[in-house]
Each structure stands twice: as C-alpha cells, then as structure tokens.
Structure 1
Amino acid sequence: MNNGEKMLHFLENHQAKAYGNYINGNWINSVSGETYTIYNAANNKQPLAHFPKSTPEDVNQAVSAANDAFETWSVLPGPERGAILYKVADMLEENLQELSFIVSAEQGKVLNESMGEVLRAAKETRFCAGEAFRMEGKTLPAERQNVWNSTVRKPVGVIAEIAPWNFPMITPIRKIAPALAYGCTVVYKPATATPWTSARIMELLTEAGVPDGVVNLIVGSGSTVGDSLVTHPDVKGISFTGSTELGQQINQLASKKFAKTQLELGGKNPAVVLDYSNENHVAKQIISAACTCSGQRCTSISRVIVLRDKKDELVKALSNQLEKIKIGPAWDDNANMGPLVNKGHLDSVQNYIAIGVQEGANLIYGGELLEDEQYSKGAYMKPALLDNVKASMRIAKEEIFGPVLTITEVDSVEEALSVANDVDYGLAASVFTNDLSVAHQCAEKIESGMVHINHGTASAAHLPFGGTKSSGFGAFSIGSSNIEFFTELKTVYVEY
C-alpha cells in the first residue's frame, strides 16, 4: 500500500478514544465531567477522539504537578536532560507514519506536509538536546582584588505553553523541547481543534523517560483554561503562538505578576519582487509559501509587491503555478493542498475575498468553494489570487490566514519597501532580486524579524524565529535565542 492507502486503513480501523488531561504522568478526567469531540478535517462525519472541557481547578492540579517536578528536574544535569530529548527525537522518527496520519486527520494538511512537520519536530528536538549542554555563563574581571565574578543561567520555573491549531506537532515540540533542555517544567494547552497529536506526544515523552509532572497537558477553552494558566501565581513564563489580539491580552495579564512572555503572533508577509532571471522560479517559491498548510500559517506569503514592468509576466507565472495545485484529502497521494481546518474558518476566508472585491480588487484566479463529491465532507476552496490591490485595502493589511494572495504594483524599490512596511505586522518577508546591493538594502530596511532573499519564507531548525511590531514580543524561539526566555541570569560574586 502507498502512504495514502495506509492512512485510509488507519482511519477505517480507528476507534475514537476518550482522553483526559495528562497530569503528573496520568490521564485524569476533568472535574467538569464535560467532554467534546474532534472530527476528521477531511471527513466531518468521522469522530477522532474525545477531550475534556477543563476548568481552573484542573489547571491548578497541572500547575501543582509541574511545580513539584521542577524541584528535581531543574537540578538534573543538562547532559541527562539532553539524553532524554535525543530519545524523544528518535521516537518521533520511529513513529513518523502514525504521527503523520494523526496530524493530517485532525488538521487537514496533506500527508507529505505532515510527514515533513514530524521530521522537522525531530530535528528541532535534537538541536534543543544539544542546547542542554550549552547553558553558558561568563567569568568576568573583578574591580577588586581577591574577588571572582561570574554569571550563570538558571531555569525560570513552570512554563505555560499555549498553541494554535495549524501545526499540531511542531508547535508543541518547539515549546516543550527547549523548556526541558533548560530545566523548566511545562503545562501545555493545545488548541481545542487539534489536541489529538498533543495527546500522543505526551505518551511518547513518557516513553522516552521524561519524569512524571515535568510535562502536563490540559485541554480546554482559552477563556477558561488559558486565562487560568496565564494568571496562575506559580507560572513564571508564558510561551504563546496565536493571534496578535490574544497575544496582547496575555501580555497584559502576565505583566501584572511580572511573568516572562514569548509571543509568536500574526503576520502579513510580503514577497517583494524587483528583478529575476526566471519568473517561474519566483512564482513557484511564492505559491509554495502562500499555499502550504492551505495558507494557514503565520509565515505564509500573502502579499506580492512587484515592480510595474514585471507584473504581467509574474501574474501569469503565479496563475500557472496555482493551476498545478491539486486539492484533496490527506490520503490522496496526488493532493498538494488539503481543506481548511473547519467550516467556520473557511467562512472567514471567503468573507475576506468578498471584502477585497468590494474594495475594488480584481479576483483573477480561484477563490471558489469546492463542495462536490469528496469535497462535501471538508472545508475546501481553491486558492485565490487578487490583482489591482491597493496598499490601503483591508485585504492588504489584515491577516486572512488562508490561501489568498494579493498583487500590488509599484514604481520603485523605495515604494516597494514603503508598501512592504505599511502594515502592523513584521514577521517574515521575501525579496527577489539579482542585485546584491539591493538585496542588502531590502534586508536592512524591511521591518520584519526574518528576511528571505530569493526564496520563500521557509525557516531553519537552528535559527531564531520571531517577529517585530505586532508579530512578536519577547525572545525569538528556535535556535540559541530560546535561552533568553527559558532561563534567568544570576550574577555571583565570591571574595577569597
């Protein structure tokens, strides 16, 4: 059987299981006694699992377990913590197929993307395992004789980690692995739409040797569980990925108790197209970055800003690339774009397309719903390409979080940079140019946390990841920058 057939077989033989919260190494039902069901994103008639609607009392239990576990986990030598994380990475790879099926089933992305997500999670875990060996301090010269000065890094404590639904595997791992590497303990809240992958992660962490209480899973709404986590007095840091609006609320709540925050927020990422040798290469890079995960990722390219004399040629190349997209369920091995996560989100994306047309944009490709036959059980649409988009339009300024790409033409590099920066966000940007001087100029002047020259917005597993303006706050994630969030600095003076 090919991978798609194996996934279908997996789902056909799957029985929806009831999960509780994972607290101190045990699955525990919520005190509320209430549950809800998640369904297959590509077959909304098939239940996948049942999860609790948790309460503040459940949060207290999870935080208490994490707080108790911190006493022993934080003093475990870094190499021993790293060794456990290396085992976690191995287990992610060993369970690649099953994990990919789970990710695709609950989120909807095609199977190749899910497999790539699991493998990326393993790669980032290995990097974090190495970081456990590198909690470096400094020895500094003294002002006085017979005094020895140094700085050391100490783990912060219990970390609340809150994730969105678009990357059910990589986001929890990206938050949990560095926390464990640096000696912190975790209470993790997945999105209510995609908690199944997280439940399986808890099982693998325990199997790899993570002690009870070090990582705890709590499932429930943001308003109940999320707020209780953020405001809990024993939570010393909050790592959140999600909308800018929610990030602002979390930061306000956290600031009242001086808790640290690491916020990965929204994006309205431009592709600035100035010149090129091959318009098809540029179009392929842009469409991949716009339609991966059905456009439901914070680093998706959603705006193309192109010099006027290049526009017609580029638009044709973009349309040709969009024609190559095959939309279907994850188990269709020919599909390279799946459904959106659910009908509610599909309605939101469709509303933005309608707003764009009302504002005067020209819908030149796609955007229509797909509802016949295999599409009737999921939230499917064709990716949309809109031309004649002014920088002032809502579709050019607001995050749509779907496969919608806008075209804005400009007359100069200076105008392109001005338009690129004329949004509240500053997460990622792509620049396409053969001029090295212009490339450096754009990298310097574009207001974003990450700039990609001559390729799409794909990040690496060992480089810092984050944004500026309304796209992020606090230490960047991934890479060595995580140490700034998960640890605190201590200065030691010794007179001898």
Structure 2
Amino acid sequence: MTALRSYNPANPSELVTEVPAAGPADAADAVRSAQSAFDGWSAAPAGKRAEALHGAAAQLAAESAELAELISREEGKLLGAARTEVAKTVEQFRLAAQLAFLAEGSTYPAESAGVSAWTLRVPLGVVVAITPWNFPLSLAARKIAPALAAGNTVVFKPSPVTPGAGERLAAACHRGGVPEEALRVVQGDDPEAMAALAGAPEVRAVT
C-alpha cells in the first residue's frame, strides 16, 4: 500500500500527515465492512445512535484546539477560521443526534372507508461520503452525521489534500461510540479504488 502525504502549504517541506492510500481491494473491504455493520446499526434504538453522535461531538470539542491547528497546517486556513470550523462541526454532530429521533413516517386517509395508508422512513444502507479540502471537518460532518443518525453506515472518502483531518474526524466518532465498522475511512485518489468505492453494489447512496 502506498502512502498519502499532506504538507503545510505555508512551509512545503513540513510533513503534516502520512496515511496509507487505499487501493481497489481496500475500498471494497471498507464497503463490505460497512455493509456487515448495517443491520446492527440500523436496528439500534434512536437513543443509542444519538448517544454515539453526542459522544463524537464531545470528543471533537475536547480536541478542538488540536483539530484547529491541524486543519490550519494541512490546508492553510487561518487559525481563527479553523477554530470556527471545528465549533460548527461539533454543532452539526449535536444537531444530528437530535435528528435521530425524527425519522417519523406519515399517515394518510386511503380511498377505502376506514382504511389509512402510512409511510415509514427507513435507512438506505451503505452511504459513501466524498468530501472536499476547503472545509474538511464541517462539510464532512454535514454528510456523515445525518447519515449515521438515520441508521445508515458510512464509508468516508476525505480529500487527499486533508487526509489528517479526515482521520481525526473518524477517530473522534469511534471514540464517541460509533462502531468502527459503521464508519470506515478510505484515503487517496486512486481512480480504480474510487471506482470500486462508488460502483460497489452494496452502496446505496453517494453524497
């Protein structure tokens, strides 16, 4: 497996992050892992999913200073703006935790007397979340947190420009209570790996 590296744009000789870059087999393995976790995660009570998302928010808040410094060094964002992004990321996970309780259906009168029709919201399955470099935490949170709240499992593909931010976000989620199999990370930009990721039959949505 090759390495994916990020460097400080203000000091190009400074290595910020080095992580393994995924190949096609790694991408396929991540999808299979997320699929295997789907039944358990989707069947978990909304309160359990909300607890894990609140746990992720708490972890991110506790690491806010380190995370802000990381994304500042990794993508060149001003430190003040990086702190704001981390704070918004925490808020997004807290909001998603509340949304876990709102996956309600609706009831409608049917054409036949005394009969009602109803809808039920159900999770899709494995969701692939592909995110950009410019807001590597907050834009990822907008995709990942609601998907997890609804009972989906996620394969997260961060930008190759900001791999460290992606790793730290996923790690905070895992420490907060999200099962590792329910949120997998695939790093890099190998075309075959990305095709394997987005084209896997188990994947029900790409965002």
For Structure 1 versus Structure 2, the TM-score category normalised by the shorter chain is: over 0.9
- Structure 1 CA distance for aligned equivalents of residues 204 and 190 of structure 2: 18
Q: CA 1:90–1:138 in 2, change beyond 3 Å: closer, same or farther?
A: same
Counterpart selection for 2:121 from 148, 153, 158: 153
**Alignment-derived partner of residue 153 in structure 2:** 185
Deviations 1:238-279 (A, max 9, x none): 00xxxxxxxxxxxxxxxxxxxxxxxxxxxxxxxxxxxxxxxx
**Alignment-derived partner of residue 57 in structure 2:** 89
- Cα deviation, residue 52, structure 1: 2.1
SS of the residue corresponding to residue 102 of structure 1 reads: helix
Deviations 1:198-233 (A, max 9, x none): 111121111101113000001121523322211111
Instruction: Choose 1 or 2 for highest CA Rg.
Output: 1
Higher helix fraction: Structure 1 or Structure 2? 2
Contact 1:162–1:226, Cα closer than 8 Å, also in 2: no
State the AA in 2 paired with 1:113.
A
- Cα deviation, residue 149, structure 1: 2.0
**Does residue 229 in structure 1 map to residue 207 in structure 2?**
no
Deviations 1:282-337 (A, max 9, x none): xxxxxxxxxxxxxxxxxxxxxxxxxxxxxxxxxxxxxxxxxxxxxxxxxxxxxxxx
State the AA in 2 paired with 1:171.
L
Unmatched runs of 5 consecutive residues or more in structure 1: 1-32, 240-496
State the AA in 2 paired with 1:231.
G
State the AA in 1 paired with 2:105.
G
- Structure 2 CA distance for aligned equivalents of residues 84 and 219 of structure 1: 23
Counterpart selection for 1:56 from 24, 29, 33: 24
**Alignment-derived partner of residue 114 in structure 1:** 82
Same amino acid, percent of matched pairs: 36
State the AA in 2 paired with 1:232.
A
Counterpart selection for 1:217 from 160, 177, 185: 185
**Alignment-derived partner of residue 123 in structure 1:** 91
- Structure 1 CA distance for aligned equivalents of residues 71 and 153 of structure 2: 25
**Alignment-derived partner of residue 8 in structure 2:** 40
State the AA in 1 paired with 2:72.
S
- Cα deviation, residue 185, structure 1: 0.3
State the AA in 1 paired with 2:128.
A
- Structure 1 CA distance for aligned equivalents of residues 4 and 109 of structure 2: 60
- Cα deviation, residue 36, structure 1: 3.1
Q: CA RMSD in A?
A: 1.3
What are the within-5 Å matches in structure 2 for residues 301-450 of structure 1? none
- Cα deviation, residue 143, structure 1: 2.0
- Structure 1 CA distance for aligned equivalents of residues 13 and 179 of structure 2: 38
Q: Tell me which of the two structures has the higher relative contact order, counting C-alpha pairs closer than 8 angstroms and 6 or more residues apart.
A: 2
- Structure 1 CA distance for aligned equivalents of residues 162 and 4 of structure 2: 12
- Structure 1 CA distance for aligned equivalents of residues 64 and 76 of structure 2: 17
State the AA in 2 paired with 1:172.
A
- Structure 2 CA distance for aligned equivalents of residues 64 and 139 of structure 1: 35
State the AA in 2 paired with 1:104.
S
- Cα deviation, residue 104, structure 1: 0.5
**Alignment-derived partner of residue 41 in structure 2:** 73
**Alignment-derived partner of residue 262 in structure 1:** none
- Structure 2 CA distance for aligned equivalents of residues 139 and 40 of structure 1: 54
**Alignment-derived partner of residue 109 in structure 2:** 141
Contact 2:109–2:117, Cα closer than 8 Å, also in 1: yes
Contact 1:163–1:171, Cα closer than 8 Å, also in 2: yes
Counterpart selection for 1:196 from 134, 140, 164: 164
**Alignment-derived partner of residue 132 in structure 1:** 100
Give the number of aligned pairs: 207
- Cα deviation, residue 133, structure 1: 0.6
- Cα deviation, residue 168, structure 1: 1.3
- Structure 2 CA distance for aligned equivalents of residues 223 and 49 of structure 1: 21
Deviations 1:164-199 (A, max 9, x none): 111111121111100111000001111111110111
State the AA in 2 paired with 1:151.
T
**Does residue 98 in structure 1 map to residue 66 in structure 2?**
yes
Unmatched runs of 5 consecutive residues or more in structure 2: none
- Cα deviation, residue 54, structure 1: 1.6
- Structure 1 CA distance for aligned equivalents of residues 193 and 129 of structure 2: 11
Contact 1:219–1:225, Cα closer than 8 Å, also in 2: no
Contact 1:35–1:50, Cα closer than 8 Å, also in 2: yes
- Cα deviation, residue 146, structure 1: 4.8
State the AA in 1 paired with 2:146.
P
**Alignment-derived partner of residue 249 in structure 1:** none
Counterpart selection for 1:167 from 124, 135, 140: 135
